Amino acid sequence: MGFGKNAGVSSENEQARGGGEGAPPEQLAFIRESVRKAKAPKAKPRTWRGAALAKERPVARVLVDKGVLHLDRLFDYAVPEELDAQAQPGVRVRVRFGAGRHRVRDGRREGGGLIDGFLVDRVAESDYSGPLAALAQVVSPERVLSEELLGLARAVADRYAGSLADVLQLAVPPRSARAEQRPSPALLPAPGVPDAGAWGRYEQGAAFVAALASGGAPRAVWNALPGGEWSEELARAVVATLASGRGALVVLPDGRAVARVDAALTSLLGEGRHAVLTADAGPEKRYREWLAVRRGAVRAVVGTRAAMFAPVQDLGLVAIWDDGDDSHSELHAPQPHARDVLLLRAAQDKCGFLLGSWSCTVEAAQLVEGGWARPLVAGREQVRAAAPLVRTVGDTDLARDEAARAARLPTLAWQVVKEGLRQGPVLVQVPRRGYVPRMACANCRAPARCRQCSGPLEGQESGGALRCGWCGQEEGSWHCPECGASRLRAQVVGARRTAEELGRAFPAVPVRTSGREQVLDTVPGAPALVVSTPGAEPVAEGGYAAALLLDGWAMLGRPDLRAGEDALRRWIAAASLVRPHGAGGTVVVVAEPTLRPVQALVRWDPVGHAVRELAERAELGFPPVSRMAAVSGPGDAVADFLRTVELPPEAEVLGPVPVPVTVVGRPRRVGAPPPGEQWDRALVRVPPGRGAALAAALKAAQAVRMARGAAEAAVRVRIDPPDIG
């Protein structure tokens, strides 16, 4: 059985036929083919070499491994009799593909290059009546591409204006012959129904686990309490799903989080009951684990974003932890986000969905506000009992503090560190360097935004008027809409040798660092200073006695919509590792206490912060309420693209504006121009409900440009760019 007939299927031979001078080859090929079809009946499939064909369903529909949009279709090939048994839907094949294979010389067609692909379907006849090229090889009889995975990949490709081949490169790992030869273990019986455990701390938490265990498909956004129980809670949700005879998939931001959930699942289930899929596992091990899932030997998967397409059978639950972490956003085309892939899977498989975090993104709040998911939260008394005490140090405090001016360590922070070191380790969170400063109100620190499109205002090197980073409109008389002030200031960036300064301030205490060079998983419970960048904080045995969150403006001043949300998420993630207030745990954040993210941290109310952010974005037409795409590339190419693309009538084009030039020797961001090249970027915004139309229009225009030639394909299109200023 195949995956169903695709009305858009065309043969490779037909696609590659050309014409004479004066008209595009594709157009002439279409005219000739239409005339030929009108005059002659369809012929039976045959190969130009006259090879014997399979007696039943002799036509194979193949997706070639070409990640270009104008070839984002299936191509017809003849199935030789000798490959009939192995050439089944879902297997890897090799076919001849390219212009060379269609040339005719001395009455014979020349052979072309071999290319990998997936056999998607077997049918009785082709839409093309000429001779078909034969399948060159069945790489492996392993049916790695299921109907469900193909449907998911197509949905992801359509949502992100990408090609199906690119998505399948992310979804199906590279083949390992040795892994295929090893038999997968037998599927173990379903475990017993677990007790709710720590889920009882949440309102409706026990009911959520019970629904999973009984075969239901509950959908929830879970705001986890501080502490280390989140991994066990996730594991219990997985075990409850397995108890119903269904499978479960958990996607986590990094290997350290995977290791914690892996350990919790092993403790509850024992060895061999779940698979771990991460990009760091190595090709053979990863493929072996993936095959065990595909063959149905394992029904529980834990992994990083590489696992979001894992072919779990009888899927009953998809879960993601900390969806605001940028590690969930795929770097390769079409750059899908793991959260959105799991949302598509939940709809496709009609299974349960769980989005968990210590904090709350606006996307998570939108799922609850729209009624698609229910909140899983603890009562305020539970939150206050589990959270540490949070204290703030603002600009006024720093201005009066002689110690802060001399050593960049406020007196309050120094006192908290000194007291905390008597009880155990102290965490110091230091923001990453390198954020691009933009303008903000000097009085209330609200970001300065354009009155026309609400984009971020930027100062000019020449000292001229402010200019919008989205639409390019100049602003000569800006006033803050929050407080009415007219003075501006550059937002703070970076941190200055924090570890060295703390080492000098506390010379008798060991200082450990965790960051890009070396990320620590855990630290002992003995007194020590642990300096970490956001996201790299190690877990302390027994919890940290205190935490310092320094240079808050370095994160609050980031040039994108998520600055406040992301700062709060990183602060809460660090503060969740600190002991409860009742056990002496204290957190000091160096940021203006009147700012909304700081207030949300003090109250430990990330959900309220996300709900308010969502309401404001809806009022301003910002994502995720609206859908947005970024079109970037050389200025002439972007302008030509915008002239030719047939956007939905409701679409609004902002810009284009110049993109900052990438400096040679510095890390290049995803989507940034090559070093030394000047690119422009335009943003295209559509209202709710028109995202699919926007993606289709952009994909069609990009396909036309690619069909013209590689030189015209310099424009980059990204749906839902994460770096909107």
494 and 434 Cβ atoms separated by less than 8 Å: yes
Angle at 290 between CA 289 and CA 296, to 5 degrees: 95
pLDDT of residue 454: 79
Please name which of 440, 391, 398 lies closest in space to residue 589, comparing C-alpha atoms.
Answer: 391
H helical segments located in 328-375: 338-349, 362-369
CA distances from 291 to 169, 185, 297 (A): 16, 11, 9
3-state secondary structure 13-29: HHHHCCCCCCCCHHHHH
Closest CA to 511 of 495, 526, 494: 526
Q: State residue 405's pLDDT score.
A: 47
Q: What would the DSSP string read from start to end of 46-113?
A: -BTT-PPBPSSS-EEEEEES---GGG-S-EEEE-BGGGTTT--TT-EEEEE-SGGGG-EETTEEPP--
3-state secondary structure of 654: strand
Q: Counting Cβ atoms within 10 Å, is residue 723 exposed (0-12), middle (13-18) or buried (19+)?
A: middle
Contacts of 495 (CB under 8 A, 6+ apart): 430, 431, 433, 550, 551, 554
Burial environment of residue 336 by CB neighbours within 10 A (0 to 12, 13 to 18, 19 or more)? buried
| DSSP, res 198 | G
Sequence-separated (6 or more) residues with CB below 8 Å from residue 531: 428, 430, 498, 499, 502, 511, 512, 513, 514
- Alpha-carbon distances, residue 101 vs 25, 104, 633 (angstroms): 17, 8, 34
- Domains, in order of start, for the chain: 12-143 (no CATH), 197-381 (3.40.50.300), 388-435+493-603 (3.40.50.300), 627-661+671-719 (3.30.70)
Spatial CB neighbours of 57, under 8 Å, sequence gap ≥ 6: 2, 79, 122, 123, 124
pLDDT at 433 (0 to 100): 45
**Token pair for residue 510?**
């060991």
Q: How far apart are CA 363 and CA 386, in angstroms?
A: 25
Are 609 and 565 contacting, i.e. CB atoms less than 8 angstroms apart?
A: yes
Query: Where does residue 161 fall: left (phi above 0), alpha (psi -120 to 50 degrees), or beta otherwise?
Result: left
Q: How far does Cα 226 stand from its chain's mean position?
A: 25
CA 476 vs. chain centroid, Å, equals 38
Taking CA atoms, 709 is separated from 18, 115, 702, in Å, by 15, 20, 11
User: What is the structure's pLDDT at 9?
Assistant: 37
> Concatenated DSSP letters for 455-504?
PBEE--TTS--EEETTT--EESS---TTT----EEEPP----SHHHHHHH
Tokens of 92: 């890897």
* Tokens of residue 599, six digits: 């207030």
CB within 8 A of 579, min separation 6: which ones?
Answer: 388, 424, 542, 543, 544, 545, 585
Query: Alpha-carbon distance 490 to 487, whole Å?
Result: 11
**161-171 pLDDT per residue, tens:** 999 999 999 99
CA-derived radius of gyration, the chain: 29
pLDDT, residue 449, reads 86
Per-residue pLDDT reduced to its tens digit, 194-230: 788 889 999 999 999 999 999 999 999 999 999 878 9
Bridge partner list, 92: 118, 140
* DSSP letter for each residue of 133-191: PBP-EEEES-----HHHHHHHHHHHHHTT--HHHHHHHHSPPP-HHHHHSPPPPPPPPP
Positions in the chain whose pLDDT score sits under 50: 1-43, 48, 99-111, 405-407, 433-437, 461-462, 492-496, 663-668
pLDDT at position 626 is 92
End-to-end CA, the chain: 49
The pLDDT of residue 8 is 35
Beta strands in 497-570 (DSSP E): 511-514, 522-523, 529-532, 539-540, 546-549
